[in-house]
Amino acid sequence: MSVTNATGTTTASGELPWQTELARAVRDPAELLRCLELPPDLLDAAERGARLFPLRVPRPYLGRIRPGDPHDPLLRQVLPLAAEARRLPGFTGDPLQEKAQCSGSGVLHKYAGRALVVATGACAINCRYCFRRAFPYTDHAGWRPALEYLERHGAPEEIVLSGGDPLLLDDTALAAFIRRLEQLNGVKRLRIHTRLPVVIPTRATPALTELLGSSRLQNILVLHINHPREIDTKVVAALTRLRPACSALLNQAVLLRGVNADVTTLAQLSEQLFAAGVLPYYLHLLDPVEGAAHFDVDEKTGRQLWSALHHRLPGYLVPRLAREEPGTAAKRIIA
């Protein structure tokens, strides 16, 4: 049965459209604590942390967090903590030195044979470990100037669409970008890095799947899922809708203390990803961004976890352990 919501949009399942879910995301720390029945003594730190980097949690994601548990691994990814105010050596506002790689047009020259387009500075969810939490999006984001730059200077075989979250572009804007990109000689692949189908599954609209499926480009969707409990039935349904339209669905996770830094969680994540049609791709060590040091897992521990995962799972379920380093033409593969 279809249901019409307040925006006049009809969905087959009665779920709210993704734009509505985006607008009603929780942004107030006090509201977050009330919704999750968390102790009020967390409020002061949460408010101070939110002043450093705003809080934003869509309600579909909020619904997967265990009420009353301040240590829930999904909550830990979104709840501002007092630790974010600590300033530690080696943790900076621009850990990958991306400002030096900006063309001023929304294009970052980071990798050989690829161009990274910062399509938008907006995200549906503000992850507390985000390496671009202090990125100057106002000066270095936008799909239109990026296209103009690529049209003037030429484009490589692969375009990496990043952000923010590029799927915050609506279907009309995304279609305009892809159709113009298809006209550039030599471009073969479009890789879209997104968290939106995970945090707001209704973003997997029929228009989006038709757009991706009809493109002459090979479309690779790279998701960002860190914990198996992020994959619920609605996320699986969204990925099922997207899978026929894409050449591949991949996942890259970040190794995070207090979230997934144990082999059982990592194994469950890989298994649930594969069951949903997604191949584990990368497991990243944390980019040393200021405000996120409390998530850090050292490289030695990362190697030990990867080795244990390698012994537990078949090879195709073991993501590559990697670290991104500024000024290099590719990620450094650790294991």
* 177 lies in the same domain as 296: yes
Task: Please compute, for residue 245, the number of CA atoms within 13 A of its CA located in the half-sphere on the CB side.
Answer: 21
For each of the chain's 335 residues, which pLDDT tens digit applies?
Answer: 233 343 445 465 679 999 999 999 999 999 999 999 999 999 999 999 999 999 999 999 999 999 999 999 999 999 999 999 999 999 998 887 777 667 667 888 777 789 999 888 899 999 999 988 877 766 667 889 999 999 998 899 999 999 889 999 999 999 999 999 999 999 999 999 999 999 999 999 999 999 999 999 999 999 999 999 999 999 999 999 999 999 999 999 999 999 999 999 999 999 999 999 999 999 999 999 999 999 999 999 999 999 999 999 999 999 999 999 887 878 999 99
* 109 lies in the same domain as 53: no
* 210 lies in the same domain as 294: yes
Give Cα separations from 106 to 182, 192, 223 (angstroms). 18, 15, 21
What pTM did the predictor assign?
0.93
So what's the pLDDT on residue 140?
Answer: 66
Burial class (CB in 10 A: 0-12, 13-18, 19+), 268: middle
Q: What is the pLDDT of residues 133-153, one digit of tens each?
A: 877 766 667 889 999 999 998
Report if residue 91 sits inside a domain.
no
Report if residue 200 sits inside a domain.
yes
* 308 lies in the same domain as 217: yes
| 181 alpha carbon, distance to own chain's centre | 22
Report if residue 285 sits inside a domain.
yes
So what's the pLDDT on residue 43?
Answer: 98
The DSSP output letter for 17 is: P
Report if residue 90 sits inside a domain.
no
The structure tokens listed for 143 are 């799909």
* 52 lies in the same domain as 148: no
Neighbours of 69 (CB within 10 A): 14
* 241 lies in the same domain as 154: yes
Report if residue 93 sits inside a domain.
no
Among candidate residues 85, 116, 131, the one where a domain is terminated = 85
* 52 lies in the same domain as 113: no
* 53 lies in the same domain as 145: no
So what's the pLDDT on residue 6?
Answer: 36
Q: What is the mean pLDDT of the chain?
A: 92
Widest pairwise Cα distance in the chain? 58
Contact 265, 231 (CB under 8 A): no
Among candidate residues 85, 117, 136, the one where a domain is terminated = 85
Q: What is the pLDDT of residues 199-231, one digit of tens each?
A: 999 999 999 999 999 999 999 999 999 999 999
Burial class (CB in 10 A: 0-12, 13-18, 19+), 88: middle
So what's the pLDDT on residue 96?
Answer: 78
Cα 42 to Cα 37: distance, rounded to the nearest angstrom: 11
* 158 lies in the same domain as 76: no
* 18 lies in the same domain as 150: no
Print the domain residue range for 318.
99-333
Rg over alpha carbons for the chain, rounded to the nearest Å, is 19
Among candidate residues 85, 112, 142, the one where a domain is terminated = 85
* 216 lies in the same domain as 295: yes
* 124 lies in the same domain as 68: no
The structure tokens listed for 40 are 């009020």
The enclosing domain of 104 has a CATH number of: 3.20.20.70
Report if residue 118 sits inside a domain.
yes
So what's the pLDDT on residue 12?
Answer: 58
So what's the pLDDT on residue 11?
Answer: 61
Q: Which residues pair with 195 in a beta bridge?
A: none
Report if residue 94 sits inside a domain.
no
Report if residue 92 sits inside a domain.
no
Q: What phi, psi does 184 have (nearest 5°)?
A: -85, 125
**Into how many domains does the chain fold?**
2
